[in-house]
Homo-oligomer: A and B are copies of this chain.
Amino acid sequence: MRIPKPILNLIEAFERLPGIGPKTAQRLTFYLLHFPVEEIESFADALKNLKSSTKICSVCKIVDETDPCSICEDKARDEDIIVVVSNPLDVFAFEKVGFKGKYHVLHGIIDPLNNIGPEELFINDLIKRIKSGPACAGRMEIVLATNTGMEGESTAMYILKLIRNSGFSEEEVKITRIARGIPVGGDIEYADDVTLTQSFQNRLVY
């Protein structure tokens, strides 16, 4: 006896998700067999609505129900500081800590090993946005908040150079990078060499 086709279809669908291997996909599928029909239906509806009910904001590329998104529409937010992140989830991380400026979501990271180049990301849209923004008044800040791994660093460096090569001087557009160092509550004893070195080099003056 083989696994029946309708079950196999769902197992294969789960397997396409990141971090879900064949065993986990099987376990999830057989677990769902014991779910009430209505709950499975609402799961399926949530899936179908995911893309049909959401839009990518034409300005900042955040995923929201409206375009422009609620953040771009919010007049109370600071227009002059844009946090550049790689994923929509990073936006919610910044929102949670009370950031009140704007965002730009790249939807990925430059990763040549996986064939993701700058053209695959919303990097050129960022340049266009800076050009049309209040940068000429010399007040704009771009905070590069990609992850601090190798791909994140090189993406940040790429964007830094691109903005400068697009003719924006340090007076017109201030470019910053989130600080790297020992996480709050962390032990220096267990810090890795690279982090400790950066943490020392970029020490704060009291």
Question: Hey, which bits of chain A sit against chain B, CB under 8 A?
Answer: 1, 3-7, 9-10, 12-13, 16-20, 24, 26-35, 37, 39-54, 62-65, 69-71, 87-89, 91-92, 95, 107
Contact = CB atoms under 8 A, between A and B. Distances in A.
Contacts of A20: 28
* Main SS class of interface, A: helix
A63 B37 CA distance: 15
A18 B31 contact: yes
B1 A70 contact: yes
This chain's copy number in the assembly: 2
Given A5-B65, A17-B32, 14 more contacts: A1-B69, A1-B95, A4-B63, A6-B50, A6-B52, A13-B43, A17-B28, A18-B28, A18-B31, A33-B54, A35-B51, A40-B48, A43-B47, A47-B47
Contacts of A1: 62, 64, 69-71, 91-92, 95
Contact of A47 (B10, B51, B87, B91): B10
Nearest to A20: B28
Contacts of A50: 6-7, 10, 29, 32-33, 40
26 contacts: A1-B91, A1-B95, A4-B64, A5-B53, A6-B46, A6-B50, A6-B52, A6-B54, A6-B65, A7-B63, A9-B42, A9-B49, A13-B47, A16-B39, A17-B31, A18-B27, A18-B31, A19-B27, A27-B89, A30-B89, A33-B50, A35-B51, A37-B51, A37-B52, A40-B48, A43-B47
Contacts of A52: 6, 37
A34 B89 contact: no
